Amino acid sequence: MIKTDALIIGAGPTGLFTAHQLKLIGLSCEIVDNLDKIGGQCIELYPDKPIYDIPAIPECTGEELTNNLIEQLKPFNIKFHLSERVEEVKKNNEIWQVKTNKGTEFNTPNIIIAGGVGSFEPRKFSPKECEKFENKSIFYAIKDKTIFKGKTVSIFGGGDSALDWAIELSKDSKVNLIHRRDEFRGAQASVDKMNELAKSDKINLFTKYQLKSVKGKENLEGIEIEHDDKEVKNLETDYVLGFFGLIMQLGPIANWGLNIDKKTISVDTEKFETNQKGIYAVGDICTYPGKLKLILSGFHEGALAARACFKLARPNEKYRFEFTTSSKSIKKRLGVKE
Ligand SMILES: Cc1cc2nc3c(=O)[nH]c(=O)nc-3n(C[C@H](O)[C@H](O)[C@H](O)COP(=O)(O)OP(=O)(O)OC[C@H]3O[C@@H](n4cnc5c(N)ncnc54)[C@H](O)[C@@H]3O)c2cc1C
């Protein structure tokens, strides 16, 4: 059980800057994100695109913004819990008990939801029986490529991830690449390389096919794929990989008793508190009259929510406003020598 003054859900730009604001005023915090990396939409959806409306930064990419926010957090040594989704939020004696899908538990008086458009989840195969093989023989992301060595791997998808992994795994595995269209969406260089490997039989290419069913009781034994013209093929395979992109789902946040309107959470504009005391919502996921879904709005909202957390985390102390330029205690927290 981890005790913290505030728990932040979401490591997008808003969650990151909110952590900075909490630590600046002397509160502890930890961050949970469903993704395996820090940065939210900026890193998942547009790492290379330039952003032009971050105050005092004329131009930076999504990745550069994320790296700068991480750099700004360096003095604080924040604990991130990545690849974990917050599932359960319950109140016990004015303290929130929070649980993730991996079983990590937190006790905190304050939860700041910086969940953006919800958690990013992989789009999955439609046959229901795929679920029982998930994370055993069917994967939507690769953590350890060595398990595929010398095995037969059937890769589904037509974008960069499917192409890149088909090319990479063909070095040491038998690879079937299956796509529901004739055309691939990935980078031309990868499409050319894949076609070259298919010509030399290093990759078995199946276009206009989709997964029809999976076979096997305990272990996956094979799959059936179906052509647009209904012809069915059986393929023996040890592993199946699906790369169909990500979908965003509000997910478990919808079950925490919050005022939700069109996938956003209503808050006040003083503390960014929701209808539940001690639960705040900031960034893209919150709504109030005049809300702008911009990164700069999330920064402002996080700064105010962090100050609101002080009251519940330190009920016997009074919060004192201080500038970073002149506060000795802030400089101490930042490790700045005077
Ligand atoms: C293509 C594109 C271009 C854009 N350009 C600009 C621009 O130029 N300027 C600008 O200001 N804005 C821009 N935006 C919008 C900007 O990216 C968002 O406003 C910003 O990312 C919101 O930040 P956030 O931290 O609130 O949410 P997000 O960045 O969405 O991060 C939320 C995080 O919360 C996680 N999460 C959600 N639920 C859970 C849960 N239950 N458990 C664990 N983790 C969870 C998600 O996995 C995600 O990582 C652009 C957006 C897109 C898509």
- 161: how many CB neighbours lie within 10 A of its CB? 20
Question: 294 CA distance to ligand 1 centroid (A)?
Answer: 9
Crossing angle of helices 295-313/13-24, nearest 10°?
A: 40
Q: Which of 69, 241, 288, 46 is nearest to 141 (CA)?
A: 241
Question: 82 CA distance to ligand 1 centroid (A)?
Answer: 16
Ligand 1 pocket test: which of 295, 296, 297, 301 has the largest number of ligand atoms within 8 Å of its C-beta?
295
What pLDDT is attached to residue 262?
84
Shortest-distance atom of ligand 1 to CA 14: 25
The least confident of 6-15, 32-41, 57-66, 119-128 is 119-128
Shortest-distance atom of ligand 1 to CA 35: 47
Question: 78 CA distance to ligand 1 centroid (A)?
Answer: 20
Phi, psi of 274 (to 5 degrees): -85, -170
pLDDT for residue 177 is more than 80: yes
Q: Which domains does the chain have, with CATH numbers?
A: 2-121+247-334 (3.50.50.60), 124-244 (3.50.50.60)
CB-ligand 1 contact for 10 (6 Å cutoff): yes
The residue count of the chain comes to 338
d(CA 171, CA 162): 15
Q: What is the mean pLDDT of residues 226-235?
A: 97
d(CA 116, CA 305): 16
CB-ligand 1 contact for 98 (6 Å cutoff): no
Q: Which pLDDT band holds residue 165 (cuts at 50, 70, 90)?
A: very high
pLDDT digits (tens, 9 = 90+) for 236-268: 999 999 999 888 778 889 889 999 988 899 999
Question: Cβ(106)–Cβ(2) under 8 Å?
Answer: yes
Question: Cβ(118)–Cβ(250) under 8 Å?
Answer: yes
Shortest-distance atom of ligand 1 to CA 253: 41
Question: 40 CA distance to ligand 1 centroid (A)?
Answer: 5
Q: pTM of the prediction? A: 0.82
Q: Please name the residue whose Cα sits nearest to atom 51 of ligand 1.
A: 41
Question: Cβ(265)–Cβ(287) under 8 Å?
Answer: yes
What pLDDT is attached to residue 3?
98
Token pair recorded at residue 123:
């789009």
CB-ligand 1 contact for 157 (6 Å cutoff): no
Question: 116 CA distance to ligand 1 centroid (A)?
Answer: 5
pLDDT for residue 104 is more than 90: yes
CB-ligand 1 contact for 283 (6 Å cutoff): yes
pLDDT for residue 155 is more than 90: yes
pLDDT digits (tens, 9 = 90+) for 207-223: 999 999 999 988 999 99
d(CA 154, CA 246): 19
CB-ligand 1 contact for 46 (6 Å cutoff): yes
d(CA 7, CA 289): 26
What pLDDT is attached to residue 249?
79
Question: 299 CA distance to ligand 1 centroid (A)?
Answer: 12
CB-ligand 1 contact for 51 (6 Å cutoff): yes
Q: Please name the residue whose Cα sits nearest to atom 39 of ligand 1.
A: 119
CB-ligand 1 contact for 253 (6 Å cutoff): yes
Q: Please name the residue whose Cα sits nearest to atom 35 of ligand 1.
A: 10
CB-ligand 1 contact for 295 (6 Å cutoff): yes
The least confident of 87-91, 99-103, 141-145, 304-308 is 141-145
CB-ligand 1 contact for 30 (6 Å cutoff): no
Q: Which pLDDT band holds residue 102 (cuts at 50, 70, 90)?
A: very high
Ligand 1 pocket test: which of 17, 30, 41 has the largest number of ligand atoms within 8 Å of its C-beta?
41
Q: Please name the residue whose Cα sits nearest to atom 13 of ligand 1.
A: 294
pLDDT digits (tens, 9 = 90+) for 59-85: 999 999 999 999 999 999 999 999 999
pLDDT for residue 142 is more than 90: no
CB-ligand 1 contact for 13 (6 Å cutoff): yes
pLDDT for residue 50 is more than 80: yes
CA distances in angstroms from 206 to 167, 173, 186, 237, listed in the order given: 15, 17, 16, 14
C-alpha 225: how far from chain center? 31
Please provide the average confidence, as pLDDT, over all residues in the chain: 95
pLDDT for residue 119 is more than 90: no
